[in-house]
Structure formats: C-alpha cells, structure tokens
Structure 1
C-alpha cells in the first residue's frame, strides 16, 4: 500500500477507536473493508485518498457484487466506505464527500433460528453436576436466555453487576450505553450456585471482578461462550444448532409470544431503533403460520 494510504488508514483507525469509540469488532470490520478498497485503488496507480471519487467507489462495489459477495457484506462495505470518505473530507483530503452519492445497500433480514419453549426448557433442565465448569455453563445458559443480552455483554459482566434484591443485572451495551435488565429466579439460582460453589475454585491473583471465568481464572471470552452454547444444545436431541445470538433471538421471541409489547423487548435487548426489534414480530408471525398449516384441517 502506498505511504499516503498507510497514513490515511492509520489516522482513520485512530478516529474509529478514540473519537467514535466503536467496538473492537466494528473497528476490525471497517478497517478490513477500507484496506481492501485502498489496495484496489493502489492497483490503478493512485497514491493518496485524493484519487477517490464516486466512479471508483461504485466500480469497487460492483466488483464485490460480481464476486458473489452477500447483500449483508455489500451493505457493510458500503457503510465502511461512507465512514472513510466522510472522514477524508473532514480532514481535507477530499474536496467533497463522494460517499454521500452511494446508494444504500439493503442487507435483507433472514428470520433468526429460535428454539421452541419445550426445547429451551429441555436444554436448561439437563442435569448439572457440582463441577465448576458445569455450574458456570449452566449459569451462562440461564443468563443468556433470561436476559437476551449479547455475548460480549455477558463476557463483560462483573460480580457487582448482579442485583439480587431487585432481580436485575447492569449491562454495558453497544456504544458503551448502560442499561438495567431484569433477570428471573432460575437464572439467579444458577448464578448463586456458580458464585458460591464454582467461581471461588477458579479464582487467581489476576481474576479481578469478572463474573464468568475461564479455567485459568481470567475473564471468559466470547469464543468459549459460543462453544458452551453449541455443546449444551447438542445434548438435547432435535434442538436446532445455534449460538448465543440464537438464545437472544429465542428470549425475544418467547417474550413477544407471551404478550410483551415491542417497546419493552426493545429496552430489554438494548436496540437503539424499534425497527431492529420488529424482526421478532415477523418471527412470531412465521411460527404462527407454520403452526396453522400444520394444525388447521383446511389450511
């Protein structure tokens, strides 16, 4: 990559991390897209961001489309380019912002995979031993389903984030927005079992306040949580294979099916927009149609 692009890329990374305070995952995704675009631009002989215009942006996205990139990938890459060109314009590298002329690539939403009520109950009722790993894994499954929090939010929980008197947990969500989420008695009991009989056996000098630990005493990571969820679901025959996000979908869907209003579910999940939460109404309708076709004699 030309030196001019390297400097621009490094400045953009600092902007994403320090000024916009985006999550590490989002920063990595944006930078990967911008890196790919700048390499494409360099192949044309360009050496600085000043060579960026609407034509080269559309040509690159067109090549991505022809290469078979999914609609979701194209939507994210469009967003990445817009963020970069807007920053380049503010820095004075571009006379105008060509990203404003890009159309919005709609990703399209697939209906999320959710577990039925009986399936979820079977997963949570699997016998649990007194082994710390078993106690931790059970508490993780209960908390994910009870609260619908994201896997990153679960990993970031500290011991003091659990309010047992009020039956709530304090969660730090996207954009470092804090919210308080209710949690049910079964999840609290599983947490108590882990905190009393499991967590103390894994505590080390470097453990700190983390609620959920790995076997070496450090804060648990998202990859470990995903493996736990997949393994737990695999223990119940006929249960769809999904991850922590599938449990989040399941919690939201079950709440709506139980009569919760959409605004309450939005608050629970920490969605900035009610439109994001509305996908769960589509899930419930889809499940209703499936049940109707299966049960009604004249469906």
Structure 2
C-alpha cells in the first residue's frame, strides 16, 4: 500500500529557490526591502540619491545602522543641506525620502519611531513660474517647428503635439504603446496613460495630435505592432529598433526645437503650458487635476494663474 505523500516534502522537492537562497532572502534587512519596493524609476533614483547623501553625511555603511539614527542626526543633516545651499524643495524632498524609509522600518517593527517626524522643513516656496509655461503664440511656433515630411519630422511633430495637447510627463509619453493610442471610450478616441505610482488614466485624444500620430505611424510602419512602443528613437532618419524613445531623448528634442525658436525650455514646460492653457480657458480645476494625474489638487493650483490676471481684479468690478 502506497503511503500518502507528504505535501511539505512535495513542495520542497519542486521548489524554485534553493535552500541557501531561501535563507538569504529571509535575512534581507527591511531597509533593503523598502528600496526594492520602489518600482517607479524616477522615484527610485531620487530616493537613492537622498539616502546616499544621508549615509555619506552620517557615515552609515551597513543597513542596520539606520536603527540607531536619532532626530539630532536628521536635524544636523538638514542644516548641512542648508549650508550646502540646497534649495527648499530639494531639502523637503530629501527629508521626505528619509521619512519614507523610517515609516517602513516602523511598519516592520525594526525601529520604535520615525526620527524625521517633528524635524522642521523649509517653507514651501511659491512654485508659480518655476516651470515656465509658453504663451499661445510660442506653443503654435513650437508645433510648427519640425518642417518637412521626413520620418523624424513627423515623429517630432507628433511628440510635441502629444505633450502640448495632453500634458503628459516625459516618462508617460515614453511608456505609450501603439495599443494605448487606439482606445475608444464612448466612441471617443483616448490615450491610455500609465502614470506615477502605477496609476492608469484615460485621456481623450485631441484630434490635432491624433492626426499627426496617424501620419507618423503610416510612414514608420509599426502601426500594427500593438504591444510595441508608439514613439521610437531614430538614427539618420531611420528607426533603430522596437524600443521606446527615452525620457532624456524627449528632453533633448524639446530643448533643441525651443532653442532654435529663441526660448530654451525643458519638456516639463509643455505640461505646464497645457495645464495653464486649459485653466485659462475655464477648464474645471478638478477635471484638470484628474487629467494631469495629480494626487493633490494643491499641485494643480500651481498652474492656475487666473487669480493674477489684471482683468480679473476686483478693481474692475467697482462701479459707481
């Protein structure tokens, strides 16, 4: 008579991890776990820079040394950042990164409290105008800047239109696939946008941008590759493969065309331009918040310049 199989033994025999690897993973410090859980590349890079700076300042070399950090260490680091003339935004962001790490350590019971809490941070600077928004005439000039009917020209016109009409982040534009461009919602073409934190939003496709993307795909020839990148890098006006154009490539593209026109800007200015233009034309701010993928409406208000327009001043409401 056959003895019943031991389920634990069966699972052990079929394991994909070796015993050594299993034990090694069970010993991973929570500090390393926290960093491994940062899936957004931009966030990961920024947080890594912040934590490295703190480790260099305090002399921390091993992960478990974070568990003896006190508020005094954090305050000393903050003051050192001020001495190094880091701006308020940078200091707040670096403290937030460190606070995020200690929140995770608290959750894992590796520390009893978060030493960053209670540490005063620089006051919020007015962010208005930090990322310059283009005027309407400048935006039109930028849309017309790529001239001719080459593959590069058609691609660049489509990229600029996608940024200016939909207020996408560089990373969001680079993640777009051909399929993301073909969505329909209630009969209206939409872009499926993969935003920060793994959040997905659907943005109605502007007809002007849609037409330019169609022209680009027709000449590029990858319109049937649904899972492939929508916008791809070029070399000598020829596609270099199926990979997506990089955020750095987008930045250089915008900077090159804007410099030719006499106003050097980065790609984020096109997001600011789209948001400001929509609000100036009476778009509902809550809808703009959703459109931009902002978690907090306070971030969206940065782009709302209506309160500063002279024509909206109470001065012109006075009538005797």
TM-score (norm 2): 0.78
The CA distance in 1 between the partners of 2:103 and 2:41, in whole Å, is: 20
Q: Which residue of 2 aligns with 1:150?
A: 169
Cα distance in structure 2, aligned partners of 1:185 and 1:122: 18
Aligned counterpart for 1:51 among listed residues 68, 71, 74: 68
Shift of 1:129: 2.0
Please name the residue that 1:4 is paired with: none
| Contact 1:142–1:187, Cα closer than 8 Å, also in 2 | yes
> What is the CA-CA distance between 1:290 and the residue it aligns to?
10
Q: How big is the shift at 1:30? A: 1.2
Q: Per-residue CA shift, 1:240-269, capped at 9, x if unaligned?
A: 321221000000111111111111111111
The equivalent residue for 2:271 is 248
- Give 1:182's aligned residue: 204
| Aligned residues of 2:163 and 2:270 also touching (Cα < 8 A) | yes
Tell me the distance in 1 between the aligned counterparts of 2:155 and 2:251.
Answer: 13
Change (3 A) 1:9 1:64: farther
* Counterpart in the other structure of 2:252: 227
Structure 1 partner of 2:290: 267
Deviation at 1:126, TM superposition (A): 3.4
User: How many positions carry a matched residue from both structures?
Assistant: 276
Structure 1 unaligned regions, length at least 5: 1-7, 293-299
Q: Verify the 8 A CA contact 1:157 1:171 in the aligned structure 2.
A: yes
What's the CA shift for 1:89? Answer: 3.0
Following superposition, the deviation at residue 43 of structure 1 comes to 7.3
Equivalent residue, structure 1, for 2:106: 89
Distance in 2 (CA, whole Å) between partners of 1:126 and 1:30 is 37
- In structure 2, list runs of 5 or more residues that go unmatched: 1-26, 235-239, 314-320
Structure with higher Rg: it is 2
Pick the structure with more helix per residue. Answer: 1
Shift of 1:271: 0.7
TM-score by length of 1: 0.83
Q: Is 83-92 or 247-256 further displaced after alignment?
A: 83-92
Q: SS at 2:117's partner residue?
A: helix
- Which digits, 9 at most, give the CA deviation of each residue in 1:175-217, with x for residues without a partner? 111111012111011000111012549x99xx95110011212
